[in-house]
């Protein structure tokens, strides 16, 4: 089984409690359980992680370079601020899918820009926590595709 990293940024530990009118009532543990089930069905394992600290996310991206075949990342507020996460993602050779639970384009204008999108192979926004499962499905599809020379 190949390992897909699912990385979550700041405040996602409060999912289901923080602004449920925007982010819904599911907890991060609910999302993780759904992701694990789907990944297993697709023949993959996941490493599901969350941090409020930028450096930990960067360390996990570096770890994924050695152990992972793909990354699904919800960088949360780091989306709009972190060149360091972008630089780390640029060192990863597998597919990367960027996830946002809310539709960031319907929110404040500062949320419309993403540094992470410069590296992501796809972006899913506004589909709630279902976006995580769609991201995992897309990674699985990209891994099956013939390599381009």
Label residue 21 exposed, middle or buried (CB < 10 Å: 0-12, 13-18, 19+).
exposed
Please state, in angstroms and rounded to a whole number, the distance separating the CA atoms of residues 120 and 99: 10
- 100 included as an active-site residue: yes
Element at 131 (helix H, strand E)? helix 130-144
User: Per the annotation, where are the binding residues for substrate?
Assistant: 74, 80, 87, 101-102, 111
Q: What angle do CA 56, 57, 61 make, to 5 degrees?
A: 115
- Select which of 5, 23, 44, 132 is catalytic: 23
Please state, in angstroms and rounded to a whole number, the distance separating the CA atoms of residues 9 and 7: 7
- 23 included as an active-site residue: yes
User: Per the annotation, where are the binding residues?
Assistant: 74, 80, 87, 101-102, 111
- Select which of 5, 44, 100, 132 is catalytic: 100
**Which residues are known to be catalytic?**
23, 100
């Amino acid at each position: 089984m190949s390992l897909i990293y699912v990385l979550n940024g700041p405040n996602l530990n409060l999912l289901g409690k923080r602004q449920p009118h925007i982010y819904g009532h599911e907890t991060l543990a609910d999302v993780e359980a759904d992701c694990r089930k789907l990944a297993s069905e697709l023949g993959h394992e996941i490493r599901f992680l969350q941090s409020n600290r930028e450096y930990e996310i960067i360390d996990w991206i570096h770890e994924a370079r050695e152990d992972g075949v793909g990354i699904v990342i919800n960088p949360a507020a780091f989306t709009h601020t972190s060149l360091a996460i972008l630089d780390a993602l640029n060192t990863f050779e597998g597919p990367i899918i960027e996830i946002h639970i809310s539709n960031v384009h319907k929110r404040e204008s500062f949320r419309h820009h993403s540094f992470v999108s410069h590296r992501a192979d796809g972006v899913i926004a506004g589909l709630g926590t279902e976006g995580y499962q769609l991201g995992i499905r897309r990674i699985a599809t990209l891994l099956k595709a013939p390599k381009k020379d």
